[in-house]
Amino acid sequence: MSGKRRKRHTPEQIVRKLRDADAMLNGGKELAAVLQSLEVTEATYHRWRAQYGGMKAEEAKRLKELEDENRRLKQI
């Protein structure tokens, strides 16, 4: 193990980081530099892009709420 503690990001934080990444990439930064500044791995970045790409923060928050509600209902 790397010894680093895994950080959980809220959907709003993810959307914000994806927007920041887009701005940096459009500004000419390399993907590796962008990922380092966001403190995420490439796999995490691509997973987030697939799941949250194109969403607004409010939409991502609503998606997370619905997923949580579905999980609770399935346990009943």
- Residue 20 inside a domain? The answer is yes
- Residue 66 inside a domain? The answer is yes
Over 90: is that where the pLDDT of 73 sits?
yes
Find the domain containing 67 and state its range: 11-75
- Residue 59 inside a domain? The answer is yes
* pTM (two decimals): 0.72
- Residue 22 inside a domain? The answer is yes
- Give me the number of domains the chain comprises: 1
- Residue 3 inside a domain? The answer is no
The tens digit of pLDDT for each residue in 4-56 reads: 677 788 888 999 999 999 999 999 999 999 999 999 999 999 999 998 888 78
- Residue 4 inside a domain? The answer is no
Cα 74 → chain centroid: 25
